[in-house]
Amino acid sequence: MIIEKFLNKWILFFLLIIPFCGLIFDEPYYITLTTKVIILAIAGIGLNLALGYCGLISFGHAAFFGTGGYVTGILSFHALNDEMLFSWPLEFFGASEMLIIWPIAILVCAALSFIIGILSLRTSGVYFIMITLAFAQMLYFFSISWPTYGGEDGLSIYVRNSFPFLNTMDPFSFYLVCFVWLLIVLLVSCKLINSPFGMAFQAIKENEERVKSVGIETFKVKLIVFIISGTIAGLAGSLYTDLNRFVSPSVLNWHTSGEIMIFVIIGGMARLYGPIVGAAFFIILEQTLGAYTENWQFWLGLILILEILYVRSGILGLFDKKKKTRIIKF
């Protein structure tokens, strides 16, 4: 545990030092790459609450990630083009300020998480997986057939949304915004996990029937965790749209859910900093292998399979002396 806490501090240190080096040596590419890792890690932290700590195997978090992205894109599109989004109960022309966009994206994703959660959490196991996946795919196909906002081609917003006293078009300034959000999400998640409520949903993962026997309504607990998880993923989607200044239906597709799940598994499930390590590992592999071969996806998949087979507790689990890594023997 002491080693893991020490590693957690070093993880944050590297997330700080790499962009500063990029700023000093005028290498904005490394700043943007670190920002991408941070945003994807935020999405992973959201899923980790549901998957790692509560045992909810959701394959539909792309629905929240993509919805957060599309809310940001649509609001920005209307604001930049001075087009009315709706006229009742008042005229609203979208927004291009992050402080307005974030609360709207969070509320929309929280509402969507509630709707999906209240329907899907009545099931369990493979049925829960399939229902969450189905919801994400429904939104994916809907976005493809939505020509107003680009359809299959996606939606470009050209200019990054604004933040008070910062030039968000500057990679380092936008990195700072995302890094602060990462710290907030980590703090909120840590407080939640270590609270009595956190103990309840972690107990549900271990033995739900026993938790029910002491009078705790497990459905409500799981629903709240699912809503928080989806909302965090939606926030990450909003930041991701601003990073790329573009959003497309691909963020709603099932492979986005798969990637977010990979971040959690690689770094270590039920480990607060696991998704950060997983996202960084995935992005580094993607960039490194892509520079040497056109078939980098094959080698990336092979490395990931080996990592998942032989490091079952994730990368951070290697430094936990209390847990022995199980080796699968063929």
H-only helix segments in 153-295: 171-193, 196-206, 208-213, 218-244, 254-267, 274-290
Six-digit token string for 175: 């990195």
Does pLDDT of 329 surpass 60?
Answer: no
Does pLDDT of 46 surpass 90?
Answer: yes
- What's the confidence (pLDDT) of residue 87? 85
Output 113 or 288, whichever has higher pLDDT: 113
Six-digit token string for 218: 């497990």
In which band, very low, low, confident or very high, does the pLDDT at 158 lie, cut at 50, 70 and 90?
A: confident
Q: Helices (H), strands (E): how many in the chain?
A: 12, 2
Does pLDDT of 330 surpass 90?
Answer: no
Q: Can you give the length of the chain in residues?
A: 330
How many whole angstroms separate alpha carbon 241 and alpha carbon 208? 37
Q: Is 22 helix (H, G, I), strand (E, B) or coil?
A: helix
* Residues in Cβ contact with 303 at an 8 Å cutoff, skipping those fewer than 6 apart: 285
| Residue pair 246/156 in contact by the 8 Å Cβ criterion | yes
Q: How does pLDDT run across 77-110, given as a tens digit for each residue?
A: 999 999 999 888 888 999 999 999 999 999 999 9
In which band, very low, low, confident or very high, does the pLDDT at 322 lie, cut at 50, 70 and 90?
A: low
Does pLDDT of 123 surpass 90?
Answer: yes
Q: How does pLDDT run across 55-78, given as a tens digit for each residue?
A: 999 999 999 999 999 999 999 999
Mean pLDDT, the chain, whole residue set: 92
Q: How does pLDDT run across 247-262, given as a tens digit for each residue?
A: 999 999 999 999 999 9
Q: What percent of the chain has pLDDT over 90?
A: 79
- What's the confidence (pLDDT) of residue 47? 97
Does pLDDT of 328 surpass 70?
Answer: no
Partners of 163 in the β-ladder = 166
| Residue pair 116/60 in contact by the 8 Å Cβ criterion | yes
How many whole angstroms separate alpha carbon 259 and alpha carbon 108? 23
Find out whether the peptide bond into 89 is cis, omega within 30 degrees of 0. yes
- What's the confidence (pLDDT) of residue 311? 82
- What's the confidence (pLDDT) of residue 291? 86
In which band, very low, low, confident or very high, does the pLDDT at 321 lie, cut at 50, 70 and 90?
A: low
Does pLDDT of 297 surpass 90?
Answer: no
How many whole angstroms separate alpha carbon 64 and alpha carbon 234? 5
Averaged pLDDT, 140-151: 94
Dihedral, CA atoms, 75, 81, 86, 91, nearest 10 degrees? 110
How many whole angstroms separate alpha carbon 29 and alpha carbon 24? 12
How many whole angstroms separate alpha carbon 232 and alpha carbon 229? 5
Main-chain dihedrals φ then ψ at residue 260, nearest 5 degrees: -60, -40
Enumerate the domain spans of the chain.
Answer: 2-319
| Residue pair 45/186 in contact by the 8 Å Cβ criterion | yes
How many whole angstroms separate alpha carbon 243 and alpha carbon 308? 30
Q: How does pLDDT run across 194-229, given as a tens digit for each residue?
A: 999 999 999 999 999 999 999 999 999 999 999 999
Does pLDDT of 4 surpass 90?
Answer: no
What is 2-319's CATH number? 1.10.3470
